[in-house]
């Protein structure tokens, strides 16, 4: 496993900026670059998988009336709710997935999350190891894939990937709490929130800073990683700014999934 990683520490920013940065990091990445581990928080928001059809699953008019951000990710998967979670993203050479295969790369890269949950005293396992059958759903928390993480048979968080010729991105979310009362009414079908779990459901009430530190420690322990504190470089920051303005602030992308016409 790769040992040296750039590390961009936790902060809370807009949903549009979060996704613009993840895409910028992937687009700027070259195989000779140091891989990157990033932690970040969300404002209250919804995020949609790359091939989601939000209007079939959530009330987009109600979302707009609440001025609630609804952001499309460049990765697959279903709809996720945010605000009570910490997300991570990993950017690394595309050869990693080519060497291991996509499914095994999920298992390898998600292993630090299993370690993190076990450090909290939780019996976290991959769905494939818990006897759960795979089930597809346009809503992330209502479906199961082989390397989703479950605790006591209930899904926690979600993870997804995107691949280019040069690099790959994996990002995912660790829910400290789920604001079920707020989000349930936005869904037109089963949200999966009653079946999903968060840390608070297991009596873990650590704050965001403490959980962020424990995620970071689990990453270091799992991979024997050396983290080099860093920030976005000029190229990454310029591209993220452009993507936030021209893509992630546009309904044509977020709701319709159509790439913006201008080019960076």
Q: Give the tokens for residue 18.
A: 């979060």
Nearest Cα to 121, choosing from 199, 223, 215? 199
DSSP 105-124: HHHHHTHHHHHHHHHTT--E
Residue 223 within a domain: yes
Give the CATH number of the domain where residue 31 resides. 3.30.930.10
State how many domains the chain has.
1
Residue 137: per-residue pLDDT = 56
- Centroid of chain to Cα 206: 20
Residue 200 within a domain: yes
Residue 24: per-residue pLDDT = 98
Burial class (CB in 10 A: 0-12, 13-18, 19+), 9: middle
Residue 49 within a domain: yes
Domain membership of residue 182 as a residue range: 4-254
Residue 76 within a domain: yes
Residue 259 within a domain: no
Residue 261 within a domain: no
Residue 142: per-residue pLDDT = 53
Residue 261: per-residue pLDDT = 64
Residue 263 within a domain: no
Residues facing residue 187 across a β-bridge: 58
Residue 225: per-residue pLDDT = 97
CB 253 within 8 A of CB 247: yes
Residue 137 within a domain: yes
- Determine the Cα–Cα distance for residues 10 and 173; give it in Å rounded to an integer: 13
Residues facing residue 260 across a β-bridge: none
pLDDT block averages, 10 residues each, the chain of length 264: 90 93 98 97 96 94 97 94 97 90 90 98 88 59 71 92 95 96 92 92 97 98 97 97 96 94 58
């Amino acid at each position: 496993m790769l040992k040296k990683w750039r590390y961009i520490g936790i902060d809370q920013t807009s949903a549009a900026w979060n996704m613009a940065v993840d895409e910028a990091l992937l687009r700027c990445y070259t195989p000779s670059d140091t891989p990157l581990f990033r932690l970040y928080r969300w404002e209250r928001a919804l995020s949609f998988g790359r091939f989601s059809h939000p209007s079939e699953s959530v009330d987009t008019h109600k979302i707009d009336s609440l001025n609630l951000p609804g952001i499309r990710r460049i990765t697959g998967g279903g709809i996720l709710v945010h605000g009570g979670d910490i997300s991570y993203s990993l950017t690394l050479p595309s050869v990693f997935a080519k060497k291991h295969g996509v499914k095994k790369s999920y298992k390898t890269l998600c292993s630090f999350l299993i370690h993190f949950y076990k450090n909290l005293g939780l019996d976290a396992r991959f769905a494939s190891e818990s006897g759960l059958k795979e089930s597809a759903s346009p809503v992330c928390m209502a479906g199961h894939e082989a390397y989703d993480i479950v605790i006591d048979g209930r899904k926690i968080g979600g993870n997804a990937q995107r691949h280019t010729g040069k690099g790959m991105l994996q990002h995912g979310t660790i829910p400290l709490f789920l604001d079920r009362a707020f989000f349930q009414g936005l869904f037109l079908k089963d949200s999966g929130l009653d079946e999903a779990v968060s840390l608070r459901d297991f009596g873990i009430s650590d704050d965001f800073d403490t959980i962020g530190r424990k995620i970071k420690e689990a990453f270091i322990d799992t991979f024997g990683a050396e983290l080099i504190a860093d920030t976005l470089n000029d190229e990454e920051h310029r591209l993220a700014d452009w993507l936030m303005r021209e893509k992630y602030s546009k309904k044509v992308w977020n709701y319709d999934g159509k790439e913006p016409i201008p080019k960076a």
